[in-house]
Amino acid sequence: MATAALLQHASSALPHTRDRDRSTSRLGRTGRPAHRNIQIQPTLRTINEIIQALRERPLPDLSSAQRVTAYTNSRLPSIDPVTLAFHRALHAFRPLTPLYAVVPYAEAFNWSEITLEDDEEGTAREAEREWYVVAFRSRRRRGLSEEEAERLYRADRAAHEEAVARKILMYWLGAPFPSASEQDGAPIDDDLVGVNLATCIWNSRQDAIVAMRGEKHREAAKLASVSPPIGSPPLAGRWLPMEIQTTYETYQLERYIIRKEKGELGISVRDWHGGEPTDSPSTYAMSPTPVDDAPVLGAFRITGGRSFYDTASVEIIDQLLLPHQEVWEEVSTIEGAFDAIKTMKIRGAPAIASLASLGIAAELLNLLNNRPCPSFPASTLSSPPSELLKFLLDRTAYLLTSRPTAVNLREALSRIEAAAKAEASAEGATAESLARKVIDVAVGVWVEDKERCEKIGNNGAKWILEKLEREGTIQKGEKIAVLTGYGTALGVITSLHKQNRLEHAYFAQTGPYQQGARLTAVELASLGAPNTMVCDTAIGALLGEKRVHLFVAGADRIASNGDTANKISTYQISLLAHHPHPHSPNPPVPVLVAAPLTTLDLSMRSGREIEIEQRPSWEACTVRGRVVDPAKIAKGEMVAPAKEGEKVQVETVLVTPPGTNAWNPAFDVTPAMLIEGIVTEVGVAEKKEGEGEYDLRAFVEETTKA
C-alpha cells in the first residue's frame, strides 16, 4: 500500500511501556462535544454515521493485520518541566486496538499507561496541568493515487515540522484502513476502508490556534481542502482554492483535554467544552482554513518546509524588495546572517536577534553533520571544547557589530556565550556536547521571540482598551483608531483587529527607508486591517483633524529610566501626540512602546548612553521603487502585486542634486516623559504618579521574581 510505504514506524515499534501506578482512564461525557463534521457530497455519510454503522455490526478480527502508523517526535528546547515530563511519557503512547479509528477516543489508546516521571522535588506530582488535543477522524477518498497520497504526506509532515516551533507535544498520524487487496486478502469491512484517526497533542489551545495560521499549515490545508457541496453554503463563508481532487470523503475534527491532577502522575482524557464548534481552531494540518485567518507575512520560514535541524538553514523575506517583489533568501551561515542584518534585509530587533542565533545554529549543525562550515574548522569537533569556544566567541563578537543599537541582538548573543562557557567548563564536556548545547539555546531564542510577540500584542491591547474605557474616552466595546509603527507595535494592532476593536490603523511613511510605506503597509494588508498611510510631514495634521486614540511604537533599546531608541521619527511623533494643536478639539494621544523584556537595557541609566547608528548619506538621497506608468495610475488603473518569485522592474533613482550631503540617523530617542506605558510579554510598565521616568529595574524584578 502506498501510504504504508511512506509511514515508517509500526505501532509495535513504539517504545515499550513500563509498569505504571495508574490503571484507569476517565472520560467526561457531560455536555455537547466540540466536534465538527464536514461532508463533501450530499450523498455521502458523515464519518460519525459510518462509525455508528460499523459499531452496530460485528467488526473483523484484525489482530494479525499489519497496521502501519507513524509517531513524530518534537524537539522542544523551551517548555516547562511538567510538560517536558508529559512529552517524554508520550513515547509510550500506542493504540489499544487496530480498530482505534472507530472506537471512542478515550478507549482507543493506552491513556492509563501514560505516567509522568517525577524528579526529586516532586515537581510533576505536585503540578495541576491540562493539555489540548485535536483529533482528526476521517475517511480518505477511494482511488487516491500514489502521487496524491505522497504529496499529502509531504505537506502534512512539513506542517508538523512548522508546528514544532509552536509546542506541539506529539503528532500521531495513524494510517487509513487498507482495502482487502492491499491487506493480502484480509476480510476488511468495506466501510472501514480509508478510515483513520490522527492525534495532535499541544501544550495549549493558543499554540494550536497560532500554528494553524502558519504558512505550511495553510499549504497543507489547500492540498487537502474540501469543497462545499453544490448548492450548500461554504463553511465560515469562504474557502481556499483546491489544488487537487478532494482528498477526503468526510472528516471530523474532535477536541479533548488531557488533564493531570495535583498529587497524581497519571492522566485522564475528557471532552473539550470550551466553546462552539465555529469558535474552535481548525488546527489539524489539512483542515480547511478560512482566508480571513491568513497570517501576517512573516520574516522567517524553514527552508523547504522541513525541520531546521534537517536543513540547517532558514529563509528570510528580503525586506529591501518589499512591497514590489516577494523574494525569499536562504541563510545558512553566520556571514549570511551578518549581511542580511547589516544591509537591512531583515529588520526589527527581535527578528535580528533570531536570525543571528539561527546563523550560529546552522553552522554548528553543519559541523556536526560533516557538511561545509565556514566559521568552524572540522578539526574543532575532535579538539577540546575550549577550541570550539574560541571560534564561537569570535563569531558572536562579529555578529554584534552588524547592528549595535539592537539590544536584543546583544542579549541573545550573551545568552549563547554564557551557555557555551558553562558547557565548555562542565565535567566531561566535549566539543560535540558544546555544539549541541549552543544549537538548542540559539533555536530557543527564535521560538521564544514568536511567543513573546503574541503576548506583547495581547497585553498592549488590553491595557489601552481598559485605560480608555476607564477614563470614559470610549464606551465598552467601542473601536479605536491607532497610529502605529513597525515590528512589535503591530502585535497590538493584530490583537485589536482580532478582537474587532480596531476602527482604523494609520502608519507613517517612515523615510528615508520608507519602512512604513513598504513594510508596515504589507503587514497591515496581509492582516486585513483597515489602514491608511500618512506622509511623514502630515502627522501633526492627522492628529489635529482625525480622532486617534493611541500611538504605539516598537523599540530597539530601552534604558532603565524608560528612554526609548526606535526607528527615526518616533520622537517627533511622540512630541506631536503629547502636545495637540491648540485649535484641535482632540485630547493628547497616549504613547505606548511595545517591546520584549530583552529590549530593556538596565545597564543604561538614560537614553544619553544609547549609541545611535548613522546610515550612509546616499540612502537619504535616493528612492527605490517599482517602475509604473503614472498616467495609468492617475486614471485609477490598478497595479497587480507581484507573486512570490515574480520579477518586476525595480529601480533606484536620485531625488537630490548630485553630491548632496544628508544627515541620516537610523534611530532617535524618545524621552520617558512622553511615554505613557511600556508593554512587554509580562505586563505593562507605568510611571509612578507625578514622575517623569520609569523604574524599569523594579518592574523587571517584580514581574519576573516568580
Phi and psi angles of residue 294, each rounded to the nearest 5 degrees, phi first: -60, 140
- Looking at the predicted structure, is the pLDDT value of residue 515 above 90? no
Distance, CA of 521 to CA of 515 (rounded, Å): 9
Better-predicted residue by pLDDT, 485 or 299: 485
Q: Mean pLDDT across the stretch 144-167?
A: 70
Express each pLDDT in 435-469 by its tens digit.
999 998 998 888 787 778 889 999 999 999 999 99
In CATH terms, the fold of domain 450-614+665-704 is: Rossmann fold (3.40.50)
Better-predicted residue by pLDDT, 169 or 405: 169
- Looking at the predicted structure, is the pLDDT value of residue 414 above 90? yes
Distance, CA of 235 to CA of 232 (rounded, Å): 9
Which amino acid is residue 616, in one-letter code? P
Better-predicted residue by pLDDT, 46 or 414: 414
Domain with CATH 3.40.50.10470 in the chain: 450-614+665-704
Would you say 359 and 336 are in contact if contact means Cβ atoms under 8 Å apart? yes
Using CB atoms within 10 Å of the CB of residue 425, give its burial: 0 to 12 exposed, 13 to 18 middle, 19+ buried: exposed
From the list 191, 271, 556, 668, the catalytic residue is 556
Q: Which helix (H) or strand (E) holds 410?
A: helix 407-425
Find residue 316's DSSP bridge partners: 300, 329
Q: Say what the pTM is.
A: 0.54
Domain with CATH 1.20.120.420 in the chain: 300-446
Distance, CA of 193 to CA of 178 (rounded, Å): 5
Q: How confident is the model at residue 17 (pLDDT cuts 50, 70, 90)?
A: very low
Say which range, 222-226, 250-254, 388-392, 493-497, has the weakest mean pLDDT. Answer: 222-226
- Locate 471 and state its grid cell: 477614563
- Looking at the predicted structure, is the pLDDT value of residue 539 above 90? yes
Find residue 630's DSSP bridge partners: none
**CB-facing half-sphere around the CA of 685: CA atoms within 13 A:** 30
Would you say 436 and 350 are in contact if contact means Cβ atoms under 8 Å apart? no
* SS3 letters across 648-699: CCEEEEECCCCCCCCCCECEEEECHHHCCEEEECCEEECCCCCCCCCCHHHH
Q: Mean pLDDT across the stretch 514-527?
A: 85
Phi and psi angles of residue 577, each rounded to the nearest 5 degrees, phi first: -65, -35
pLDDT given at position 110: 92
Which stretches of 189-328 are DSSP H helices? 205-212, 215-223, 308-311
pLDDT given at position 62: 45
pLDDT given at position 576: 97
Distance, CA of 522 to CA of 73 (rounded, Å): 35
- Looking at the predicted structure, is the pLDDT value of residue 310 above 80? no
Express each pLDDT in 546-558 by its tens digit.
999 999 999 989 9
Would you say 86 and 260 are in contact if contact means Cβ atoms under 8 Å apart? yes
Better-predicted residue by pLDDT, 363 or 71: 363
- Most confidently modeled range among 13-22, 142-151, 192-201: 192-201
- Locate 667 and state its grid cell: 534611530
Phi and psi angles of residue 362, each rounded to the nearest 5 degrees, phi first: -60, -45
SS3 of 121, please? coil
pLDDT given at position 453: 85
Q: How confident is the model at residue 129 (pLDDT cuts 50, 70, 90)?
A: confident
Residue 384 CB partners (closer than 8 Å, separation 6+): 431
Distance, CA of 78 to CA of 207 (rounded, Å): 13
- Locate 233 and state its grid cell: 453554503
Better-predicted residue by pLDDT, 218 or 12: 218
Q: How confident is the model at residue 298 (pLDDT cuts 50, 70, 90)?
A: low
pLDDT given at position 621: 95
Better-predicted residue by pLDDT, 446 or 534: 534
- Most confidently modeled range among 78-87, 345-354, 400-409, 417-426: 417-426
**CB-facing half-sphere around the CA of 634: CA atoms within 13 A:** 3
pLDDT given at position 668: 95
Would you say 307 and 65 are in contact if contact means Cβ atoms under 8 Å apart? no
Using CB atoms within 10 Å of the CB of residue 657, give its burial: 0 to 12 exposed, 13 to 18 middle, 19+ buried: exposed
- Most confidently modeled range among 41-45, 92-96, 300-304, 410-414: 410-414
The residue whose grid cell reads 548573543 is 413
Would you say 160 and 285 are in contact if contact means Cβ atoms under 8 Å apart? yes
- Looking at the predicted structure, is the pLDDT value of residue 366 above 70? yes
Would you say 703 and 697 are in contact if contact means Cβ atoms under 8 Å apart? no
Confirm whether 191 is a catalytic residue. no
Distance, CA of 49 to CA of 474 (rounded, Å): 50
Round the average pLDDT of the chain to a whole number and report it.
78
Would you say 500 and 300 are in contact if contact means Cβ atoms under 8 Å apart? no
Would you say 199 and 22 are in contact if contact means Cβ atoms under 8 Å apart? no
- Locate 640 and state its grid cell: 497587480
pLDDT given at position 55: 57
Distance, CA of 203 to CA of 131 (rounded, Å): 5
3-state percent helix, strand, coil for the chain, nearest multiple of 5: 40, 15, 45
The residue whose grid cell reads 502627522 is 539
SS3 of 512, please? coil
In sequence order, what E strands does 64-111 have? 71-72
Express each pLDDT in 221-247 by its tens digit.
655 543 333 333 332 222 223 333 356
Q: Mean pLDDT across the stretch 593-613?
A: 92
- Locate 565 and state its grid cell: 531608541
Question: How far, CA to CA in Å, does 348 sit from each of 407, 447, 640?
Answer: 11, 16, 28
- Report the percent of the chain where pLDDT is more than 70: 74
pLDDT given at position 299: 65
- Locate 75 and state its grid cell: 524537539
Better-predicted residue by pLDDT, 242 or 145: 145
Would you say 260 and 267 are in contact if contact means Cβ atoms under 8 Å apart? yes
Distance, CA of 399 to CA of 442 (rounded, Å): 13
What CATH class is the domain 300-446? mainly alpha
Would you say 272 and 220 are in contact if contact means Cβ atoms under 8 Å apart? no
Phi and psi angles of residue 691, each rounded to the nearest 5 degrees, phi first: -105, 150
pLDDT given at position 11: 31
Q: Which helix (H) or strand (E) holds 141?
A: none
pLDDT given at position 214: 67
pLDDT given at position 71: 42
Q: Mean pLDDT across the stretch 353-381?
A: 92
Q: Please give the torsion angle defined by the CA atoms of residues 488, 492, 497 and 503, in that order, rounded to the nearest 10 degrees.
A: -110
Distance, CA of 179 to CA of 174 (rounded, Å): 16
Phi and psi angles of residue 685, each rounded to the nearest 5 degrees, phi first: -85, 135
- Looking at the predicted structure, is the pLDDT value of residue 284 above 80? no
Q: Is the dihedral of CA 19, 23, 27, 28 positive or negative?
A: negative
Long-range contacts of 445-450 (CB under 8 A, 24+ apart): 445/353, 445/354, 445/357, 445/412, 445/415, 445/416, 446/165, 446/300, 446/354, 446/357, 446/358, 447/77, 447/78, 447/165, 448/78, 449/350, 449/351, 449/353, 449/354, 449/596, 450/165, 450/166
Would you say 257 and 270 are in contact if contact means Cβ atoms under 8 Å apart? yes
- Looking at the predicted structure, is the pLDDT value of residue 114 above 80? yes
Better-predicted residue by pLDDT, 496 or 630: 496
- Looking at the predicted structure, is the pLDDT value of residue 22 above 60? no
Distance, CA of 294 to CA of 285 (rounded, Å): 14
DSSP assignment of 30-42 equals -S----EEEESST
Q: How far apart are the first and last CA of the chain?
A: 53
Q: How confident is the model at residue 481 (pLDDT cuts 50, 70, 90)?
A: very high
In sequence order, what E strands does 125-167 have? 129-140
